[in-house]
């Protein structure tokens, strides 16, 4: 049987967040668009990442709220948790969003959707089982997947990752988590709140990319909720027995052993480059990802690579950002468009949330030295937080000595929403005075942004020098 030959303006390999965004934009702008996916439309974000994890966290938060006794006059009780039905809830949320990422929707938008595995035959042609596609431009958006570290005796069939944990219907008695990044931390809190005993192992320190002071606050909260966090722990061996898993680890110079019922590996990811025929396409890559320039072009100037497969920041919103850059270049000829991560935000969706945009204090000091200023505001001083008994957390804003915003770090209620103002400030090159001058509605959590901005001026505003100036000015009426 001969293969169907297709000529296209743009061919996208991978229908995850990045690929879908490019396909939707290109097809609606009139480009002849081919979208190829070998597995599930929606990729990691819809099926095994953002959507199921946030649904599980939402269920866990409801269970936690049901038994909080921080408001007088309201009697609470421990919730009855049906773990299997909670997982059904998670699956139902995937089903709600699924049609938005479906082949049918993208075919209606004008894209030719091919549900087959793709590989490059040469620098200009991609082949699938039944198709040969020649395109002016190709976009590789094949994403990444969970990586299992080389630990002795690890049974890969019995270890869960983010790709399989959401299918588990049996409630873990004691969940052992290896990896203290965002995935490990989110799953630790979710399962602890759903009534599981949880122990988490991290080779270094948890959430190393975030502000250390804010991480300390979150660490204390997780510990209070019963998560056993073991940092600077070197996992030596994992043994699986009948419905049990034993982890041997080295901590503070001594070997320890802990037994649990289930094991979640959350210790890294790897890019999906196998089987793509990248050598035939003239595309350079390593085991860390496909190599691209600032325009997201590969070593083959007709081929772009975007999203997780290039090994950079692995967030859905980064995939969407990359897609926008491709559309500008492929559809509008804006070939000078470059990647700029200076205002890149990320959020760990614990309760409270941990959010970051721009530089942390440590990163800023590495670049600007002593010319860095830090303004802080605590949720303890926020009236809305007080009324809702959500006072754990703080905001730390990083600026240069002139007040230009370099970064912001926040842990607290709605931190993922509140941090966006500081992303705008960084993108626009604003000084902290712009935020200090905002009129914020009262009482709102967002007032913490204005309070932090005001705190930046406090040392100078109420100094002896300022008092002398005021004293002089009063004589002039």
The DSSP string of 112-177 is EEE-S--EESSSSEEE-SSEEEEEEEEEE---EEE-----BT--TTT-B-TTTGGG--SPPSEEEE
d(CA 405, CA 385): 25
Task: Kindly state whether residues 130 and 276 are assigned to the same domain.
Answer: yes
Of the candidates 332, 353, 379, which is a domain's last residue? Answer: 332
- Answer yes or no: is 31 within a domain: yes
pLDDT for the residue numbered 149: 87
Quick one: tokens of 430? 């604003």
Task: Kindly state whether residues 257 and 274 are assigned to the same domain.
Answer: no
pLDDT for the residue numbered 461: 57
- Answer yes or no: is 71 within a domain: no
Task: Kindly state whether residues 178 and 138 are assigned to the same domain.
Answer: no
- Answer yes or no: is 153 within a domain: no
Burial class from Cβ neighbours inside 10 Å (0-12, 13-18, 19+) for residue 124 reads middle
Instruction: Name the 3-class secondary structure at 197.
Output: strand
**For the chain, what is the radius of gyration of the CA atoms?**
25
State which residues form the domain around 202: 165-267
Task: Kindly state whether residues 12 and 132 are assigned to the same domain.
Answer: yes
- Answer yes or no: is 169 within a domain: yes
d(CA 227, CA 196): 9
Q: Which residues of 369-386 are buried (b: 16+ CB within 10 A; e: fewer)?
A: eeebbbbebbbeebebbe
pLDDT for the residue numbered 389: 95
What CATH number corresponds to the domain at position 204?
3.50.50.60
Q: Other C-beta atoms within 10 Å of 185: how many?
A: 27
Q: Which of these, 376, 378, 370, 435, lies nearest to 405 by C-alpha position?
A: 435
Of the candidates 267, 285, 310, which is a domain's last residue? Answer: 267
CB 350 within 8 A of CB 182: no
Task: Kindly state whether residues 274 and 262 are assigned to the same domain.
Answer: no
pLDDT for the residue numbered 150: 85
CB 16 within 8 A of CB 43: yes
Task: Kindly state whether residues 370 and 235 are assigned to the same domain.
Answer: no
Tell me the pLDDT tens digit for each residue of 132-154: 999 999 999 999 999 998 887 89
pLDDT for the residue numbered 470: 58
Place of tokens 């995937």: 94
Name the pTM for this structure. 0.94
pLDDT for the residue numbered 69: 86
| Number of independent structural domains in the chain | 3
Q: Which residue blocks in 288-431 are alpha helix, DSSP H? A: 316-332, 361-368, 383-387, 415-418, 420-427
CB 307 within 8 A of CB 277: no
- Answer yes or no: is 238 within a domain: yes
- Answer yes or no: is 175 within a domain: yes
Q: Other C-beta atoms within 10 Å of 71: how many?
A: 10
Question: Which residues are bridge partners to 240 per DSSP?
Answer: 245
pLDDT for the residue numbered 469: 63
What CATH number corresponds to the domain at position 436?
3.30.390.30
d(CA 292, CA 300): 10
DSSP readout, 24-44? HHHHHTT--EEEE-SS-TTHH
CB 284 within 8 A of CB 299: yes
Task: Kindly state whether residues 129 and 169 are assigned to the same domain.
Answer: no
Task: Kindly state whether residues 118 and 208 are assigned to the same domain.
Answer: no
pLDDT for the residue numbered 477: 60
Tell me which H or E stretch contains 358.
strand 353-358
Of the candidates 212, 240, 267, which is a domain's last residue? Answer: 267
- Answer yes or no: is 134 within a domain: yes
DSSP readout, 200-241? EEESS-SSTTS-HHHHHHHHHHHHHTTEEEEESEEEEEEEEE
Task: Kindly state whether residues 132 and 25 are assigned to the same domain.
Answer: yes
Task: Kindly state whether residues 263 and 274 are assigned to the same domain.
Answer: no
Please work out, in degrees rounded to the nearest 5, the angle formed at the alpha carbon of residue 130 by the alpha carbons of 125 and 136: 25
Burial class from Cβ neighbours inside 10 Å (0-12, 13-18, 19+) for residue 245 reads buried
User: At how many degrees (to 10) do helices 17-28 and 316-332 cross?
Assistant: 30
- Answer yes or no: is 351 within a domain: yes
d(CA 340, CA 238): 41
Strands 244-251 and 285-286: unpaired
Task: Kindly state whether residues 396 and 428 are assigned to the same domain.
Answer: yes
Task: Kindly state whether residues 279 and 322 are assigned to the same domain.
Answer: yes
d(CA 159, CA 172): 13
CB 63 within 8 A of CB 55: no
Please work out, in degrees rounded to the nearest 5, the angle formed at the alpha carbon of residue 267 by the alpha carbons of 160 and 151: 80
Q: Which of these, 61, 279, 82, 258, lies nearest to 169 by C-alpha position?
A: 82
Residues of the chain with pLDDT under 50: none
Phi and psi, residue 381, nearest 5°: -95, 0
């Amino acid at each position: 049987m001969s293969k169907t030959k297709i000529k296209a303006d743009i061919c996208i390999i991978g229908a995850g967040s990045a690929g879908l965004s490019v396909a939707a934009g290109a097809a609606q702008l009139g480009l002849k668009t081919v979208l190829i996916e070998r597995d599930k439309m929606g990729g990691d974000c819809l099926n095994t990442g953002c959507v199921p994890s946030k649904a599980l966290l939402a269920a866990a938060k409801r269970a936690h709220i049901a038994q909080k006794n921080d408001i007088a006059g309201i009697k609470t009780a421990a919730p009855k948790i049906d773990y299997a039905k909670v997982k059904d809830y998670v699956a139902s949320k995937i089903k709600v969003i699924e049609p938005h990422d479906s082949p049918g929707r993208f075919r209606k938008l004008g894209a030719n959707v091919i549900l087959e595995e793709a590989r490059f035959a040469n620098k200009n042609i991609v082949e699938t089982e039944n198709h040969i596609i020649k395109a002016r431009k190709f976009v590789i958006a094949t994403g990444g997947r969970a990586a299992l570290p080389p630990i002795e005796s690890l049974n890969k069939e019995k270890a869960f990752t983010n790709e399989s944990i959401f299918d588990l219907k049996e409630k873990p008695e004691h969940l052992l988590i290896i990896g203290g990044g965002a995935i490990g931390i989110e799953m630790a809190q979710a399962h602890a709140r759903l009534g599981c005993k949880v122990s988490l192992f991290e080779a270094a320190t948890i959430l190393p990319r975030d502000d250390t002071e804010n991480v300390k606050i979150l660490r204390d909260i997780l510990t209070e909720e019963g998560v056993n966090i073991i940092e600077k722990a070197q996992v030596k061996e994992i043994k699986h027995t009948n419905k049990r898993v034993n982890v041997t680890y080295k901590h503070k110079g001594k070997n320890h052993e802990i037994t649990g019922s289930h094991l979640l590996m959350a210790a890294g990811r790897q890019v999906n480059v196998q089987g793509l025929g990248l050598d035939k396409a003239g595309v350079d890559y390593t085991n860390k990802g496909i190599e691209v320039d600032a325009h997201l072009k590969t070593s083959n100037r007709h081929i772009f690579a975007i999203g997780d497969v290039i090994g950079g920041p692995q967030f859905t919103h980064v995939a969407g950002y990359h897609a926008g850059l491709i559309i500008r270049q492929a559809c509008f000829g804006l070939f000078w468009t470059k990647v700029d991560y200076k205002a890149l935000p990320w959020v760990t969706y614990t309760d409270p949330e941990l959010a970051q945009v721009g530089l942390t204090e440590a990163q800023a000091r590495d670049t600007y030295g002593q010319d860095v200023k830090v303004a802080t505001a605590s949720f303890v001083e926020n009236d809305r937080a007080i009324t809702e008994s959500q006072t754990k957390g703080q905001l730390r804003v990083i600026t240069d000595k002139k007040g230009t915003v370099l970064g912001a770090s926040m842990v607290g209620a709605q931190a993922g929403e509140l941090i966006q103002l500081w992303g705008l400030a960084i993108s626009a090159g604003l000084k902290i005075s712009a935020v200090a001058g905002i009129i914020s509605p009262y009482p709102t959590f967002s007032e913490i942004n204005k309070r932090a901005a005001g705190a930046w001026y406090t040392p100078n505003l109420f100094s002896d020098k300022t008092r002398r100036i005021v004293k002089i000015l009063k004589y002039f009426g």
